[in-house]
């Protein structure tokens, strides 16, 4: 069987999670690799959530929030936006391809766009192959 990546999605409750629901009500099909976790705002997404997901076996992490200027909490998405480059840098330091983590803005009315984002993300992660973390973890276990 071909390699199917596991992707964890952290979606803000007001825009992106609603947008993902809209993809459902509009029956817009997309790749099934994503597992969605709801948070109230993208600002709630602690970098440790992303690291935890990668450690637990995710090959990619998708973060979605409201478009800049449209945040339900006025500016939460800006906070995520500022946190994101630092997170990428940290991943590079850890030896994880930064492309495994992605930040996208999806509004409540963008069901179609959400599907496109998921499909594109799934395709990119599939091209990257399995996350190197699992291998490192296995080695660590063996060395101990």
Partner 1 sequence: MEEQRIGVYVCQCGTNIAKVVNCEEVVRALSEQPGVVVAKTYKYMCSNPGQEMIIADIQEHGLDRIVVAACSPRMHEPTFRKAIQTAGLNPYFVEMANIREQCSWVHDDPQVATDKARALTFGALHRVAKHEPLERMSVEMCPDVLVIGGGVCGMTAALELADGGNHVYLVEREGTLGGNVARVDLTAPYLDSARDLITALVTRVEEHKRIDVLVHSQVSSLEGFVGNFTATVETIWGDGASVSQFRVGNVVVATGYKEFDASRVVHYGYGKLPNVITSFEFEKMLRAGRIQTKEGKIPQYVAIIHCVGSRSKEFHTYCSRVCCMTALKYAHEVKSAIPNCYVSDVYIDMHAFGKGHEDFYKRGSEAKTLFLMYAKNDHPVIRKAGPGDDCEMLIEVNEKLSGEQIEIPADLVILMVGMEAREDSDAVARLVNISRDKDGWFIESHPKLDPVATTTDGIYIAGVCAAPKDIPDTVAQARAAAGRILAKTIRGSIEIDAVFAEIDEDKCSGCRVCNALCPYSAITYDASKKKSTVISAVCKACGACVAACPSGAIKARHFTDSQIFAQIEGVLT
User: From edge to edge, which strands make up the β-sheet containing 7-12?
Assistant: 34-39, 7-12, 60-65, 101-105
For the chain, the straight-line distance linking the first and the last C-alpha, in angstroms and rounded, comes to 32
Nearest approach, Cβ of residue 129 and partner 1 (Å): 17
Token reading at 74? 């006025």
For partner 1, which stretch binds (CB under 8 A), given 88-96, 104-112, 122-130, 136-144? 104-112
Is 2 near partner 1 (CB under 8 A)? no
Q: Which is nearer to partner 1, 41 or 91 (CB)?
A: 41
Is 63 near partner 1 (CB under 8 A)? no
Q: Which of 5, 16, 20, 103 binds partner 1 (CB under 8 A)?
A: 20
Beta bridge partners of residue 11, listed in sequence order: 38, 64
């Amino acid at each position: 069987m071909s390699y199917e990546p596991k992707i964890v999605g952290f979606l803000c409750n007001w825009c992106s999670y609603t947008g993902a629901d809209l993809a459902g009500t509009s029956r817009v099909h997309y790749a099934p690799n994503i597992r969605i976790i709801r948070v109230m705002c993208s600002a709630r997404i602690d970098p440790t959530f992303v690291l935890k997901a990668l450690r637990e076996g995710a090959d990619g992490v998708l973060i979605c929030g409201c478009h800049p200027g449209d945040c339900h909490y006025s500016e939460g998405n800006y906070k995520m936006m500022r946190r994101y480059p630092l997170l990428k840098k940290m991943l590079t330091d850890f030896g994880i391809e930064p492309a495994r983590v992605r930040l996208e803005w999806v509004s409540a009315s963008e069901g179609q766009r959400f599907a496109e984002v998921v499909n594109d993300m799934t395709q990119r992660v599939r091209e990257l192959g399995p996350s190197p973390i699992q291998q490192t973890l296995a080695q660590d276990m063996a060395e101990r």
